[in-house]
Structure 1
Amino acid sequence: MGLRASVFVLALLAGGAAAQDGRLERLDTTEAGRAWEAVGRLDFRGSGFCTGTLIAPDLVLTAAHCLFDRQTKARIALDSVEFLAGWRNGRASAYRAVRRAVVHPDYRFGEAISAARVRNDVALLELQHPINNTTVTPFDTAARPGQGEAVGVVSYAHDRAEAPSLQEVCDVMARQQGVLVMSCDVDFGSSGAPIFSFAGGIPRIVSVVSAKAELDGRRVALGTALDEPLARLRGELARGAGYGLDPSPTVNRLRVGQERRDTGAKFIRP
């Protein structure tokens, strides 16, 4: 199945309303949430939140669009961002400020929502101090999942902001030009949430939530095929790119004239 012209996309940063999905397991107890402490809430000083995941003691993976103000389209100042690892019922396993952010160089927040925007909608946050808490273990990442492979998502959302929820029963419906279409239940606040593969019984991150959509009348989640974009971000981080509280040796470079591909899907701005 490819992406069709009937796709209707919504960005996920702000609030909204939707029905709860009975397949979601709320991780609001210590026992239920123990394996997912590295998934946390990214708070933006009371103006909203996204979901982020620790993939190294000092690195949080999330969606690029979480770092932009929807009204001004400017980057959000990092001194207003805090990562709350394992946030559950008013407490977190660790609280960290953000030192630096690296957004995928080809991501353009101001552009109309498109396959290219979803494909590049990924960012890394470098924390001010590593999280060396034995209960918070960073997740590994893995190669992109195949069509039909079972995946799961752990996320916060507008109607489950105080504890994350796990959905293990969704699958990859399509994979086309770096965009994954998944049957996972996501809602406002789920932006940047990790999509996990459970191959071999070990959860590994294979994508992050970029948007929710409708495909042939069915609610779906859209995310990037993570392997290539993440390698690009790690390279940017290694060369000192990004923005944040401390001056960086270099700045992000906009690539001019780079070839862009399109899936042919028609995306509609909400």
Structure 2
Amino acid sequence: MFRILSLSLVLSFLATIGQAQDTRLKRLDTGDDSRGWEAVGRLDIDGRGFCTGALIAPDLVLTAAHCLFDKQSGMRVDHAKIEFLAGWRNGRASAYRWVRRAVIHPDYSYDDALATARVRNDVALLELHHPIRNTTVIPFETDARPVKGGRIGVVSYAKDRSEAPSIQEMCRVLARQQGVLVMSCDIDFGSSGAPVFSFDGETARIVSVVSAKAEVDGAPVSLGTALAEPLARLRAELAAGRGTFGEGESPRVRRIIVGGARGETGAKFVKP
């Protein structure tokens, strides 16, 4: 049973625009294929599932906030039971680290009723117990959100491809609205928290994280947060000493069954 939301996005375009130019997913099975992408890893979450995360400092992993919640109860998962497998590929990782602290965006809520605000704030920062200082695992830099029509790419793990990452080297930003990026990137369950890259400079930089997949007028799209402001707040939360498990109340989730009522916008939200 999946959860859906009516997403409050007023889209003045066809979601299929630009998708003809998108590249297909390519599985990074070999060392040569995955070279340069080792800082993307799989987050194993207390044996209950996995998400994708990316190293942005030797001891900091960026991912989606909803990855830190149990799907059944809607309660926060003890982050001490989350392991980051950097560059996980076919049974081996370049580095293994447990999570020491974890902060989510202060305005994030796991309540399905919040729609756009939930996607906009769906970002978390994980502090590892020990930094990864490995010459093959180089943290990625981050950058401001890309413009509409901008070329982006995604590296992610997902259902049926959990043992090696896959890269889509080119997809597009279809729209930017209320802090949400609407993208043509190909994602699936497990892609939550996957880094979205901009290729405008000499090196790939993270400009968003995957929050959800959706449909607009029957066409698939992916959704992510604009990164700059949320990331600054998360760094401030860690600097203030926050991120210990058990802080505050853990919101519960309101469930809606797929196939239920949809909002008037014609957009259907499904969390990957």
TM range (shorter): 0.7 to 0.9
For residues 168 and 266 of structure 1, the distance between their equivalents in structure 2, rounded to whole angstroms, comes to 29
What letter corresponds to residue 99 of structure 1 in structure 2?
R
Q: Deviations over 1:39-75 (max 9, x none)?
A: 0000013210000000000000000000001111110
Task: Tell me the residue number matched to 2:93.
Answer: 92
1:4 to 5, 10, 15: 10
What letter corresponds to residue 179 of structure 1 in structure 2?
V
* Shift, 1:218, TM fit: 1.4
Task: Tell me the residue number matched to 1:39.
Answer: 40
What letter corresponds to residue 147 of structure 1 in structure 2?
K
Residue 79 to residue 159, structure 1, CA distance change in 2 (3 Å):
same
Unpaired segments ≥5 residues, structure 2:
1-7, 13-21, 251-263
For residues 111 and 51 of structure 1, the distance between their equivalents in structure 2, rounded to whole angstroms, comes to 21
Q: Deviations over 1:78-105 (max 9, x none)?
A: 2321000000000000000000000100
Task: Tell me the residue number matched to 2:254.
Answer: none
Residue 91 to residue 57, structure 1, CA distance change in 2 (3 Å):
same
* Shift, 1:201, TM fit: 3.2
Task: Tell me the residue number matched to 2:216.
Answer: 215
Task: Tell me the residue number matched to 2:258.
Answer: none
Preserved CA contact (<8 Å) 2:9 2:267: no
What letter corresponds to residue 9 of structure 2 in structure 1?
L
For residues 265 and 103 of structure 1, the distance between their equivalents in structure 2, rounded to whole angstroms, comes to 28
Q: Deviations over 1:157-211 (max 9, x none)?
A: 0111000000012000000010000000000000000000001231000000000
Regions of 4+ moved over 6 Å: none
Task: Tell me the residue number matched to 2:115.
Answer: 114
Task: Tell me the residue number matched to 1:197.
Answer: 198
For residues 267 and 232 of structure 1, the distance between their equivalents in structure 2, rounded to whole angstroms, comes to 29
Q: How many pairs are equivalent? A: 241
For residues 24 and 160 of structure 2, the distance between their equivalents in structure 1, rounded to whole angstroms, comes to 15
SS in structure 2 of the partner of residue 130 of structure 1: coil
* Shift, 1:3, TM fit: 2.6
Preserved CA contact (<8 Å) 1:113 1:269: no
Preserved CA contact (<8 Å) 2:146 2:207: yes
SS in structure 2 of the partner of residue 32 of structure 1: helix
Task: Tell me the residue number matched to 1:13.
Answer: none
Q: Deviations over 1:3-57 (max 9, x none)?
A: 3389xxxxxxxxxxxxxx9711111100010110000000013210000000000
Aligned CA-pair RMSD:
2.3
Q: Does 2:56 correspond to 1:55?
A: yes
Q: Deviations over 1:220-267 (max 9, x none)?
A: 1100000010011111111111224xx9xxx5699xxxxxxxxx9566
For residues 243 and 121 of structure 2, the distance between their equivalents in structure 1, rounded to whole angstroms, comes to 15
1:107-146 equivalences in 2 (<5 Å) = 107-112=108-113, 114-146=115-147
For residues 100 and 79 of structure 2, the distance between their equivalents in structure 1, rounded to whole angstroms, comes to 7
1:118-197 equivalences in 2 (<5 Å) = 118-197=119-198
Preserved CA contact (<8 Å) 1:104 1:122: yes
* Shift, 1:112, TM fit: 2.1
For residues 67 and 198 of structure 1, the distance between their equivalents in structure 2, rounded to whole angstroms, comes to 29
For residues 236 and 248 of structure 2, the distance between their equivalents in structure 1, rounded to whole angstroms, comes to 12
Preserved CA contact (<8 Å) 1:115 1:265: no
Q: Deviations over 1:89-128 (max 9, x none)?
A: 0000000000000010000112425000000000000000
Preserved CA contact (<8 Å) 2:151 2:171: yes
TM-score by length of 2: 0.83
SS in structure 1 of the partner of residue 66 of structure 2: helix
TM-score by length of 1: 0.84
For residues 113 and 182 of structure 1, the distance between their equivalents in structure 2, rounded to whole angstroms, comes to 20
Unpaired segments ≥5 residues, structure 1:
7-20, 255-263
* Shift, 1:217, TM fit: 1.8
